[in-house]
Structure 1
Amino acid sequence: MDLNYLMKQNNWQKVIPIEKGWSADEKYQVITKEGESLLLRISDKSNWKEKQEEFQRIQLFNQLPDLMSRVIKLEEIPDTDNIYMLLSYLEGNDLESVLPLLTEENQYDLGIEAGKILKEFHQIDIEVDEAMILKKLQDKKIHQLNRFLNSQYASLPQVEILEKYVRENSYQILQQSVSLQHGDFHAGNLIYTNNKKVGVIDFNRSDIGDPYEEFYKLQMFGKESSLLFVKGIIMGYFENDVPESFWRMQKFYVLHTSLFSITWAENFFKEDVEKMIERMYQNLADYDDGRRLIPKWWE
């Protein structure tokens, strides 16, 4: 889109497109005339309400001193159908690309650091109707399960094992607590800063829900880049004492997502369907066809 208005209005020197990521937002790195870097996210005006809520959630995260993107403003772009959010720009490198270059000890230690940050996120005080949020989450997971079962992939071998577990254990969601969620907490949305610390970016999927729901993506996707980093996050979050209640919910969310990710890929990235099916069987093997509570990779 034409960014001339924003560049003149804000006295920016340069705007560089950012291609990485799955967000529907257009993203740019902004260079001001003073040499400062900022992050610009442009969305359709129809998303105004959702973006206001996102802005407010990021403000809550920004109460903490941790290294992270910080919101500056959210405004409409005159004479267009767009709005924009301006945030601070966290300097450094994508942690996902850096992890393989680090020692095993460094990978684990960064995981510990990231886990402690995630715990702080989940301890932010919020006032919400917990019962309503958890029931909505349960309904969403069952709806997603049914979507998968109505797809062409429902006849895949061993699907009935995952379906049975998800149906029989969705009630456990109602027994959980509720917190702010980053919504997409994994190495691809973390920055290895210039002073070798962990920074957090991409809060656009932030939400309110079960804090344990944050972890399934680490098992689904994160351990492929660094298993030690994933283990570090879990140990850092729980201060080396991981409760059984976590593993129960982790198993539920991983097996549920093992099915729904196939449907999701079919709708958005058909080339990834086979990869999602492979992950489903890997997850099933990790849980010994559903007989284990704690996955094999944790050993």
Structure 2
Amino acid sequence: NVVYRPEAPRFTRSKLHHILLDRSYLGEVPFKGNWYPGKQEPLVDRATWDRVQALLGGTVYHAHEMTFAGGFMTCGHCGKIVTGEQITKKTKSGERRYVYYRCSRYTAEGHPRVRLPEKELNRQLMAIFDSIRLKDESVREWFRVVLASQTRDEQAEARAQRSELQRQSSLLVEQQDRLLNLRLAEEVDQDTFARKHTELRERLASIKLQLDVADRSHDETADLASKAFELSQTLQDKWVGADYATKRRLLEIVCLNCRLDGVNLVPTMRKPFDVLAEGLDLSKSRGERI
């Protein structure tokens, strides 16, 4: 029975903010100021929740897909990370979304106020992809051999990463058990137990999410690397229709890292893409570095 004035919004920002912080969506239940796992099914998955909290500033989201190159480039002026930002502008034809890349110290005193539109970044990347197109069959066969070797190394690195994540997961489970024993022995009070238990549960959920991503990306990366080579003649077409996640993966496959000098992209290409980009002059390759 609330009466709203015509100029007053019925759905305020504070209400929306409260809803987005409600852990009930994770399937948890509040009790005496703390949150506990419930038996009901979550309304949203963990990855979506973490992304929302990152956007609200409550946590750090490490693998977002809002932009494909955010966090992958460094600033040529100061060496800091280049981030991506989305800006929505209202036009006569409706809202339009723009993506820009800029240094994370963009607002620092004396720092160049330079932003690179995503459209221009795409143009420069398309030129890079055009430079690695292959035409000679003997060269393609050599490329396959080197790429297979690189994939084996990356698989070994992925196995080591998963092993470390599993170790961290086991340690967190042990900490949960010790905390429960302390509570049963009444060596910690209920509030401390609830707070610590929530913290450990959050960390364990984050580790499990990273494990899921590592398990999925292991074979996906190797498969995409092979496809990127086999389709190198049409990589530009593949890029145009790709979503942000695929673009990011392609970028990581082709480039070791990237530097942004003003609005110019300066990539360090992975072996053997570096050889392809430089016209197959083997004397310029970086040896076994990938």
Please give the range of the TM-score, normalised by the shorter of the 2 chains: under 0.3
- TM-score normalised to structure 2 length: 0.23
- TM-score normalised to structure 1 length: 0.22
Q: Which has the larger radius of gyration?
A: 2
